[in-house]
Structure 1
């Protein structure tokens, strides 16, 4: 890696979260649309009923009451005043009660409210005896179901009447309650249906996320027609990807196998050279070619790694690798617990740790490995005291086959695959790989694994 001035870690920009009422998921969006539609219908229907029909009135019954009022008024008008009270009681029935009143008994007449004008006109209809101010509904209370009022007789006296249960506002209330129950049932049924329809899409998203990772499970051919077509297309695409990866790996493995024979012959012939300098250069080139082949094969074989994750002592893996490097006289130290059980892929984790330690030793001259376990994460750090990296290169060095230009020398070697392998393997275990310059100088390579991977810590 290219030496560069040590710079403090760049602070991440604050994340702005946007709060929106529009749901993110398909089920939520469809349910939101259905809810708005049903609510609009519900509110509109309620407003219409409130405005157009303050009362739900049986027109036939109302017309019948008007006719009876006219007949009873004629009978009372033709009867002597001394007998009208008794006759009114005889004319009264359960659905219409009448009585007779003198002008003195009536006193000051109440003015009929404007809100009852429509009811007045509908009750009067074509009956001339009920037209105008002869019929007065001033005694009717809007909150009740009864119709009260008076009808002026030709001699100036009045016939009072009470028609119970003519107005039926509870019909409208029952209708609104029924509409609300129906709307809830429609929403429930729609939600279950949309959820059932969206399940194949969820399966598609989950499976598509594993494309090319070696954990592919073919999609079931079920669901709506469009979903089935999409599942078939994804299955075919994954088959093609698997064949391409397999063909590429097999071709490279065959080429590397065929190359080893002429490389071995070249190394053998170099041993017979009389020029020691030429012999040393040829052997170095052969070693470099063998390392290049091994590195490419390691990277490509990891794209379809069958190694399963299992519980291992991660602290032991780190300490063992550190001890091996220290035994060779290298400046490598370890700081952390003696035992941390974690569910990882052992061989992949050994390769990751080895790449990071080699990288620190080659470019920084030393490596300090640490392991920390918190409530949420498991953190592995490999730090060195080298020159670090320019900020512009940190995001690029994990790209396969990318190397900082000034590091292309035999003293460091490599193909630019070490950090790419680390980033890929850590992501497969559900973790994150971070690179940053240390404030005091040097580079820090950090692996953060989720806390769920940690089983037990001791020591």
Structure 2
């Protein structure tokens, strides 16, 4: 449940809505349960008094020889009627007598029934059994107010149990001087949690859950699209503008994302155009300087000047290529990463370098294949150049894909592990481009990998250096292997021309 609460906004909405429903229903029960009980009591008491008055009128309008039948016919499962000659002064004794009568089966009226019928089961009074001390201490007979009793003559009233209970008694004197006694005990369902209320609450909870799920889905849909677009943008992909619709908060967030993306693209385009212009403008003075250097009479000075100009030209071109980051313009597609790295290792091995690749299961990955291949190639060539050989392997888990390149070289000082990624930084002190390069290879490699959302980490192993490329998983590994439609990577010669410059 905790995991579902943390992962699903719909689950949170449903839980909050159900909690609000339960809380509101509980408060309603506390507020209206007393009012409901009072309404039921007033209704039962009014029915009791009205029935007593009706029976009294019937008895006074009929001959005395049918009074017994009238009393029997008036009795119900929760009321009994009988006549006494004197007023029952002893309220406690009358209560015991009334409870005993309510506990007896209801007799059958022979004049109404044809044949013999079974007695009607009695309705057990609320406080059956021997008289308790609390029953003895109940109030004695009291007079009913005129507005509550429909007859003109007064009647005496009492409760069979505690005041405001559902057990009541009444006695009223008839015209012939006798007293009509009535006992009433009707069991009312205590509480409001009936089957209907539970069904109603369940239906309400289901409807609220469906509404909460729909609301959460309407909110999480745009948020999910925004998260996917932000992840793709962070990986350097070209993302079309998101639809700007929905509530104001979501629409404003989407508008801000689209505006941010447009500004980033405009910034990159402006930088690229500026650098292209700088590169174009630098070529003319460099060419002019080279022509002038050709006229220097001193051969040694001329060769040094031409060498410096060539180095300046290559550094300028490498810097422009690094800054433009042409990989951003490359289309992102699904590839078989294992085949891509394996074919690259085979290509480098074919030209005489000691490169071995450890076979791995097929790993589908969405990336810019050419730029990622360039980053891996830079690391392999560095391993071959400075560590004699390169051992390449791939590992994948649910969170990331790791491409590891190990060599047998001397490693690098610990304090330079991060500095080697800086542009133009070289561990070799000489300025020989054949041995040390310009110092952009690792910078370009990390820049490409970070545009894919990953990173490159260098570590000394004791017998050499290990470079690890970590790429984030865009989907679970098993699903990626099944769902990925990897495009074949042909074994074709690579453009090695940039390697000396890098």
TM-score by length of 1: 0.70
Larger Rg: 2
Does the alignment pair 1:135 with 2:159? Answer: yes
For residue 309 of structure 2, the aligned residue among 283, 286, 299 is: 286
1:302 corresponds in structure 2 to 326
Query: Structure 2 vs 1, CA of residues 438 and 84 (structure 1 numbering), >3 Å: closer, same or farther?
Result: farther
1:324 corresponds in structure 2 to 351
Matched residue of 1:57: which SS?
helix
Matched residue of 1:369: which SS?
strand
Structure 1 gaps of 5+ residues are 1-18, 327-331
CA distance in 1, matches of 2:343, 2:245: 47
CA distance in 1, matches of 2:430, 2:34: 88
CA shift, 1:356, in A, is: 0.7
CA distance in 1, matches of 2:446, 2:66: 109
- Aligned pairs for 1:50-89 within 5 A: 50=33, 53=36, 57=40, 59-69=42-52, 72=55, 85-89=68-72
Does the alignment pair 1:36 with 2:19? Answer: yes
Query: Structure 2 vs 1, CA of residues 206 and 374 (structure 1 numbering), >3 Å: closer, same or farther?
Result: closer
CA deviation vs aligned residue, 1:366-417 (integer Å, no higher than 9, x gap): 231323466767643222334434555545654x63747x556524655654
Query: Structure 2 vs 1, CA of residues 198 and 433 (structure 1 numbering), >3 Å: closer, same or farther?
Result: closer
CA deviation vs aligned residue, 1:5-29 (integer Å, no higher than 9, x gap): xxxxxxxxxxxxxx78964665555
CA shift, 1:222, in A, is: 1.7
CA shift, 1:445, in A, is: 0.8
- Aligned pairs for 1:170-249 within 5 A: 173-211=195-233, 213-249=236-272
1:98 corresponds in structure 2 to 80
CA distance in 2, matches of 1:112, 1:291: 112
Matched residue of 2:383: which SS?
helix
CA shift, 1:256, in A, is: 1.6
CA deviation vs aligned residue, 1:78-116 (integer Å, no higher than 9, x gap): 999997644421333x686424398799377635989xx
**Contact 2:29/2:192 (<8 A) preserved:** no
CA distance in 2, matches of 1:367, 1:113: 102
CA deviation vs aligned residue, 1:402-439 (integer Å, no higher than 9, x gap): 747x5565246556543343234335556x44424233
CA shift, 1:226, in A, is: 4.0
Stretch deviating more after TM superposition (348-357 or 95-104): 95-104
CA shift, 1:45, in A, is: 2.5
Matched residue of 1:444: which SS?
strand
CA shift, 1:219, in A, is: 1.7
Structure 2 gaps of 5+ residues are 85-92, 101-128, 489-502
CA shift, 1:61, in A, is: 4.8
How many residues end up aligned between the 2 structures? 416
**Contact 1:435/1:443 (<8 A) preserved:** no
**Contact 1:150/1:161 (<8 A) preserved:** yes
**Contact 1:77/1:153 (<8 A) preserved:** no
Query: Structure 2 vs 1, CA of residues 24 and 251 (structure 1 numbering), >3 Å: closer, same or farther?
Result: same
Query: Structure 2 vs 1, CA of residues 278 and 43 (structure 1 numbering), >3 Å: closer, same or farther?
Result: farther
Query: Structure 2 vs 1, CA of residues 280 and 193 (structure 1 numbering), >3 Å: closer, same or farther?
Result: same
Matched residue of 2:344: which SS?
helix
